[in-house]
């Protein structure tokens, strides 16, 4: 255990120059998940810029989507002399209104979103956090100046996160106001938002706010204008030295207990930070990085005591099974929520069909599940084995592990089967079957039918992991024999002249010699299929040609098809995902492999430390406190895709733990390096 005090890492602050320009300030985003699949999210300047932004975005498990209920609040201070002081900021076609950014003196993540406004000698601090125990979003205002009134106008979208709202005659016009509470249900079939306060007054004033402009949607060539509805205005007193509190939830909250809720939430997050520090050893800078990453990991785990599937990326909001399985062991370790993670693995076992797992989980949506993922079941086995290696009871999950391997031996959907040579192959499909799943015009951008290098590295590892889960040597012997056949056949991936592994061997024996990060799994998994000099050459090639400060490129720049840009319509960006974009999630396989092939020596450890410390810059841009799913392959490597990613977060946590392990091993047996 480290000697660090139980405290939060230093705040992340947006440069004041960015706040003065709404277009720049809106590039900094914040994200407060509720632990139940929903969230609050927005920007540093207060303006919503994408359809997924909102103060109450609710997970609807009955229909399998996210519902943007409360989009934002438009807040104005009414001073004693009648002067109106706006806090809000919003984009409209050719205009910004109101212009609260002009008084915005600071925005930080400390550890949740905090805004500081100055109006001459008067100052207002607004902070916003999700109180997990209360089940509400708490907004607290602290005012320094003569007594005043705060006008709060709630604006509702009341639509799926994948659409935008337009003005209509079906919306319900009136809210229900009672002492200390305002409840509003926009439509008969929509959930109601409950705004709880201590001593406010509600005035009915139904109004549409037309053509709210979302710039990020325009960049993706999607519809960018939305109409929002407000049923009225809530007026709250502002007094110097006395915080004013507003709670937003699906049920009433006790705002009189806000100090207790705040302290509970601070303690919860301090505990998370301490778990992150424990992964890193005595290095102060890396310990702060570990603390930040554990706080980020919390966003992708269900609240304590539940196994509710939660989104693993933002703004996409999807539970992608492949990414969940890659990330889950490290998210659980960083948050201490192992039982919740094992609960999710049990849920996934129930979705298994003929050895396959669905690409996404959308409970209750009624849509047919898509099982087009050859590698997800193999990541499932790795996740189960990782928890077993840490001493957790996985007996209930063993049948699912063995069912996967039996199905692959017999052959299953998509012509996925173990060949006579021991390699795992998959046939053609209208849907991509590997993690390189981008499509354009309903066709895979990177067709990979045959034997994929990372799939077979996973296959070899899965067979040996399964052998380790067996209760006797005899029970595990068939798995070890199959793994040995795979290892011998894996030699066909080696390209001696280049010094790396080919990416794919098709049914006719033709090789795709593209240099991609996929081959890193052959050297970095707990049971590597490539070792020694070849492993060193693989890692060196990746370091030389694919590694950039923000991750590992998906294709070497000199190769046909490379495109490292990340601008343009969503369809174009999606097509480029695996044609040169850099993915932070691949940092973990690179760093684990790098330390392994260099025997964890001092020079390798120093190199890895330098790489990891760059992540502090990622956490202070884009989505504050989070790491993006991918970045441009070309400099300056701007964030792209989902701005908060469980895979990216877990990858950096794994890399931190690998470095810490190497540091400890160097004190005793420098040549021993394994991470489980």
If asked whether residues 248 and 362 sit together in one domain, one would say no
For 323, residues 6+ apart whose C-beta sits below 8 A from its C-beta are 312, 313, 585, 645, 646, 647
Collapse the DSSP code of 517 into the 3-class scheme (helix H, G, I; strand E, B; otherwise coil) and give the result.
helix
Task: Name which of 107-116, 155-164, 296-305 the model is least confident about.
Answer: 296-305
* Encoded tokens for 28: 């900094």
Claim to verify: residue 328 and residue 284 sit in the same structural domain: yes
Per-position DSSP letters for 4-41, written without gaps between them = --S-PPPPEE--HHHHHSHHHHTTSEEEEE-SSS-EEE
Last residue within a domain, chosen from 204, 238, 266: 266
Number of domains in the chain: 2
Q: Are residues 257 and 310 in the same domain?
A: no
Structure confidence at residue 516 (pLDDT): 98
Domain end, chosen from 266, 289, 313, is at: 266
Between these two residues, 673 and 575, which has the higher pLDDT value?
Answer: 575
Q: Do the domain assignments include residue 5?
A: no
pLDDT bin (cut points 50, 70, 90) of residue 318 is confident
Average pLDDT over residues 593-620: 95
Cα dist from 342 to 36, 305, 307, 324, 533, whole Å: 17, 11, 8, 12, 38
- 629 within a domain of the structure (yes/no): yes
Looking at per-residue pLDDT, the higher value among 571 and 160 belongs to 160
Range of the domain at 67: 12-266
Res 354 pLDDT > 50: yes
Banded model confidence at residue 367, pLDDT cuts 50, 70, 90: low
CATH number of the domain at 217, please.
Answer: 2.70.98
Does the structure show a pLDDT above 80 at 64? no
For residue 1, pLDDT over 80 is answered with: no
Calpha distance 582→56 (Å, rounded): 32
In the chain, % of residues over pLDDT 90: 86
Higher pLDDT, 412 or 576: 412
pLDDT of residue 669: 66
Rounded to whole angstroms, the Cα distance separating 579 from 567 reads 14
Give the pLDDT band of residue 420 (cuts 50, 70, 90).
very high
Q: Are residues 374 and 466 in the same domain?
A: yes
Mean pLDDT of 640-652: 95
What's the pLDDT score for residue 254?
87
pLDDT band at 347 (very low <50, low <70, confident <90, very high): very high
For residue 88, pLDDT over 50 is answered with yes
Residue 5 has pLDDT above 60, yes or no: no
Whether residues 188 and 299 share a domain: the answer is: no
What does the mean pLDDT of the chain come to?
93
Q: Are residues 459 and 406 in the same domain?
A: yes
Residue 251 to residue 34: CA distance in whole angstroms: 14
240-244, 351-355, 589-593, 665-669 — which is least confidently predicted?
Answer: 665-669
* pLDDT at res. 368: 61
Q: What is the mean pLDDT of residues 204-219?
A: 97
Task: Mark whether 232 and 308 lie in a shared domain.
Answer: no
Spatial CA neighbour of 500 closest among 434, 449, 446, 544: 544
- Segment among 8-17, 80-89, 309-318, 363-372 with least mean pLDDT: 363-372
Q: Mark whether 28 and 176 lie in a shared domain.
A: yes
- The percent of residues in the chain predicted with pLDDT above 70, rounded, is 97
Picking from 243, 266, 289, the residue at the C-terminal end of a domain is: 266
* Closest of 518, 511, 517 to residue 494, by C-alpha: 511
Does 675 reside within a domain? no
Distances in Å between the alpha carbon of 90 and those of 45, 55, 156, 168, 225?
Answer: 9, 14, 14, 22, 12
pLDDT band at 6 (very low <50, low <70, confident <90, very high): low
Q: Comparing 64 with 412, which gets the higher pLDDT?
A: 412
CATH assignment at residue 288: 1.50.10.10
Pair (491, 563) in one structural domain: yes
């Amino acid at each position: 255990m480290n000697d660090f005090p139980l405290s939060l890492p230093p705040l992340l602050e947006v440069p004041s120059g960015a706040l003065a320009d709404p277009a720049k300030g809106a590039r900094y985003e914040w994200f407060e998940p509720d632990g139940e699949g929903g969230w609050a999210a927005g920007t540093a300047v207060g303006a919503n810029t994408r359809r997924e932004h909102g103060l109450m975005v609710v997970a609807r498990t009955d229909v399998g989507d996210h519902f943007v209920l409360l989009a934002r609040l438009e807040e104005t201070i009414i001073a004693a002399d009648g002067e109106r002081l706006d806090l809000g900021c919003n984009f409209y076609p050719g205009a910004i209104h109101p212009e609260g950014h002009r008084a915005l003196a600071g925005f930080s993540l400390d550890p949740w979103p905090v805004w500081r406004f100055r109006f001459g000698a008067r100052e207002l601090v607004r902070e916003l956090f999700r109180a997990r125990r209360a089940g509400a979003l708490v907004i607290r205002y602290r005012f320094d100046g003569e007594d005043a009134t705060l006008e709060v106008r709630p604006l509702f979208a009341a639509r799926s996160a994948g659409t935008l709202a337009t003005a209509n005659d079906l919306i319900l016009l009136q809210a229900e106001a009672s002492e200390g509470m305002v409840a509003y249900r926009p439509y008969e079939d929509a959930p109601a938002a409950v705004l709880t306060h201590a001593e406010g007054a509600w005035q009915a004033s139904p109004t549409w706010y037309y053509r709210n402009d979302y710039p990020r949607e325009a960049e993706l060539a999607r519809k960018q204008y939305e109409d929002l509805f407000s049923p009225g205005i809530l007026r709250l007193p502002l007094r110097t030295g006395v915080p004013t509190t507003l709670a937003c939830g699906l049920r009433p909250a006790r705002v009189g207990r806000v100090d207790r809720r705040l302290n509970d939430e601070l303690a919860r997050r301090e505990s998370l930070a301490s778990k992150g520090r424990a992964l890193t050893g005595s290095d102060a800078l890396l310990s702060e990085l570990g603390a930040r990453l554990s706080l980020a990991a919390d966003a992708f785990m269900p609240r304590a005591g539940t196994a509710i599937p939660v989104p693993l990326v933002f703004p996409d909001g999807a539970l992608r099974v492949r990414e969940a399985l890659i990330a889950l062991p490290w998210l659980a370790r960083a948050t201490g929520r192992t039982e919740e993670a094992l609960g999710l693995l049990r849920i996934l076992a129930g979705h298994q069909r003929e050895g396959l797992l669905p690409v996404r989980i959308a409970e209750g949506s009624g849509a047919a599940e898509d099982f087009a993922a050859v590698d997800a079941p193999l990541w499932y086995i790795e996740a189960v084995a990782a928890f077993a290696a840490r001493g957790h009871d996985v007996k209930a999950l063993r049948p699912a592990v063995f069912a996967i391997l039996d199905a692959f031996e017999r052959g299953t959907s998509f012509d996925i089967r173990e060949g006579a040579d021991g390699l795992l192959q998959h046939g053609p499909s209208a849907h991509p079957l590997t993690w390189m799943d981008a499509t354009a015009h309903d066709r895979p951008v990177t067709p990979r039918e045959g034997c994929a290098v990372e799939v077979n590295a996973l296959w070899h590892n899965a067979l040996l992991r399964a052998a380790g889960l067996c209760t006797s040597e005899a029970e595990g012997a068939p798995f070890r024999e199959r793994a040995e056949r795979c290892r011998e056949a894996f030699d066909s991936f080696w390209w001696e002249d280049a010094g790396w592994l080919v990416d794919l061997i098709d049914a006719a024996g033709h090789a795709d010699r593209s240099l991609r990060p996929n081959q890193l799994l052959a050297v970095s998994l707990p049971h590597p299929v490539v070792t020694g000099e070849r492993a060193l050459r693989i890692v060196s090639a990746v370091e030389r040609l694919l590694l950039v400060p923000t991750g590992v490129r998906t294709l070497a720049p000199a190769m046909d098809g490379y495109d490292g840009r990340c601008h343009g319509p969503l369809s174009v960006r999606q097509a480029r995902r695996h044609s040169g974009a850099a993915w932070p999630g691949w940092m973990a396989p690179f760093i684990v492999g790098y330390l392994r092939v260099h025997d964890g020596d001092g020079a390798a450890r120093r190199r890895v430390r330098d790489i990891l410390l760059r992540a502090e810059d990622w956490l202070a841009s884009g989505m504050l406190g989070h790491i993006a799913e991918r970045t441009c392959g070309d400099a300056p490597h701007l964030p792209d895709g989902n701005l908060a990613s469980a895979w990216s977060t877990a990858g950096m946590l794994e890399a931190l733990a690998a470095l810490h392990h190497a540091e400890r091993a160097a004190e005793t047996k420098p040549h021993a390096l394994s991470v489980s």
